[in-house]
Amino acid sequence: MGQITLVDVQKSFGPVHIIKGADLDISDGSFVVFVGPSGCGKTTLLRLIAGLEDVSGGKILIDGKNVVDTPPAKRGLSMVFQSYALYPHMSVRGNIGFGLKMAGLAKDEINRKVEAAAATLNLTPYLDRKPRELSGGQRQRVAIGRAIVREPKAFLFDEPLSNLDAALRVQMRLEVTRLQKQLGTTAIYVTHDQVEAMTMADKIVVLNGGKIEQYGSPLELYERPNNLFVAGFIGSPKMNFVTGEHAQQQGAITIGVRPEHLKIERGGTTGWPGTISVAEHLGSDTFLYVDGGPLGMLTARYIGELSLNPGDKVSLTPEPNRIHRFDGSGNAIRA
């Protein structure tokens, strides 16, 4: 079991409030991603759950038991660090088996479990090497092996892929997701990369300035963002925001339209007129950065190739049922 519940969790360092009251319910076996800009408190929240930081207020329940006074070693969680944090003086075998050794397991049982974990992660040939003799991807695997071998209640991942190159990151992303599904262990994963969040999560927690802005499935966040921050943070390229007359027509202070929900017409007159300032042709997609005059810069996405060039006049029409409306304080207006 690995059900984790946060009740009004707070953390401050001196006068600075890092976490301003977080409530969260993470069900057993789910993959939850904390995402947000740097300094939003996502890593702090993870460290509070791990027990590496003490809460300033509130409760953290693991399987119904309040653990705020339990040291990290006794919480039954395992963690994968951004820096891998492997023990440099131990072999891969020693690294993976360290937690089991601390738990007082018999030697052959440790060996059996370490070898099984190593096999899952394709680390068998490297068991007797030291961390410094491994590549970045292999070190990351060892760190993951160290986490899974203990069969914890939950895995905590602190930006584990950010030190890898782009290609390896995509591959490891898949592996981590697959492994988590296969083991069925609860996972909390911290990242600032919203693509990682969207692709890996069952549920995403969007954090901003120490507060949970929204908690929901990736598509919920994409389709029904609670506020301007979530709307702007989830989705790539970013949602376009328009204020003024066009927003008022919709009964809102700000309206938001995703680039992929703008219909592009060459020289048309029906929608929002503008001039292309940059056109990115990827083959599969075309991204247009349009100077919309009083509307500001707008981004539009077309699936497939659209032969338009900088300087061309276009008009952009938002799909009517894809317009997000926000009030003066930035909260979504739901019909």
Partner 1 sequence: MARMATTQKVVVSTIGAWLAGFLIFFPILWMVLASFKTELEAFAIPPSFLFFHWTTENYATVQERSDYLHHAMNSIIIAGGSTLIALLIAIPAAWSMAFSPTKRTKDILLWMLSTKMMPPVGVLVPIYLIYKTFGLLDSRIGLVFILCLGNLPIVIWMLFTYFKEIPRDILEAARMDGATIGRELVYVLTPMAIPGLASTMLLNLILAWNEAFWTLNLSTSYAAPLTTFIASYSSPEGLFWAKLSSASTLAIAPILVLGWFSQKQLVRGLTFGAVK
Take residue 220 and report the two structure tokens written for it. Answer: 């919920």
Which of the ranges 79-87, 192-200, 223-231, 257-265 carries the binding residues for partner 1, by CB under 8 A?
Answer: 79-87
CA dist 39 and 16 (Å) reads 12
Name which position in 17, 61, 81, 91 contacts partner 1 (CB under 8 A).
Answer: 81
Comparing CB distances to partner 1, the nearer of 104 and 328 is: 104
Ramachandran assignment for 293, one of left (phi > 0), alpha (psi -120 to 50 degrees), beta (any other): left
Residues binding partner 1: number (CB under 8 A):
24
| Residues β-bridged to residue 156 | 79, 188
Q: How far is the CB of 10 from partner 1 (least distance, A)?
A: 21
| Range in contact with partner 1 (rule: CB under 8 A) among 77-85, 184-192, 214-222, 229-237 | 77-85
Q: Which position among 30, 43, 44, 78 is part of the footprint of partner 1 (CB under 8 A)?
A: 78
> Under a CB-based contact definition with an 8 Å cutoff, are residues 281 and 267 in contact?
no
- Tell me if 87 contacts partner 1 by CB under 8 A: yes
Pairing status of strand 31-35 against strand 186-191: parallel
| Packed helices 136-148 and 92-102: angle between N→C axes, nearest 10 degrees | 20
Site string for partner 1, 27-66 (x = CB under 8 A): -----------------------xxx--------------
Is the CB of residue 274 less than 8 Å from the CB of residue 290? yes
Nearest-angstrom CA–CA distance, 310 and 74: 60
- Residue 140 to residue 80: CA distance in whole angstroms: 8
State in angstroms the smallest separation of the CB of 215 from partner 1.
25
Quick check: 13 binds partner 1 (CB under 8 A)? no
From residue 113 to residue 152, the character string flagging contacts with partner 1 as x (rule: CB under 8 A) and all else as - is ---------------------------------x---x--
Q: Quick one: residue 229, left, alpha or beta (phi over 0 = left, psi -120 to 50 = alpha)?
A: alpha
d(CA 142, CA 276) in angstroms, rounded, equals 48
Residue closer to partner 1 (CB basis): 111 or 317: 111
Residue 219 touching partner 1 (CB under 8 A): no
211-216 and 203-208 strand pairing: antiparallel
Is 86 a binding residue for partner 1 by CB under 8 A? The answer is yes
Instruction: Between 50 and 205, name the residue whose CB sits nearer to partner 1.
Output: 50
Least distance (Å) between residue 153 CB and partner 1:
12
Dist. CA 158–CA 46, nearest whole Å: 8
Establish if 306 lies at the interface with partner 1 (CB under 8 A).
Answer: no
As measured in angstroms, the least distance from the Cβ of 2 to partner 1 is: 15
Binds partner 1 by CB under 8 A, chosen from 6, 79, 252, 298:
79
CB of 164 to partner 1, least distance (A): 17
Q: Which is nearer to partner 1, 71 or 328 (CB)?
A: 71
DSSP E strand stretches across 162-312? 186-191, 203-208, 211-216, 240-243, 254-257, 262-266, 272-281, 285-291, 297-303
Using the minimum distance from each CB to partner 1, give the nearer residue, 79 or 176. Answer: 79
Residue 310 has what DSSP assignment? T
Of 32 and 77, nearer to partner 1 (C-beta) is: 77
Binding stretches for partner 1 (CB under 8 A): 50-52, 71-74, 77-79, 81-83, 85-89, 98-99, 102-103, 146, 150
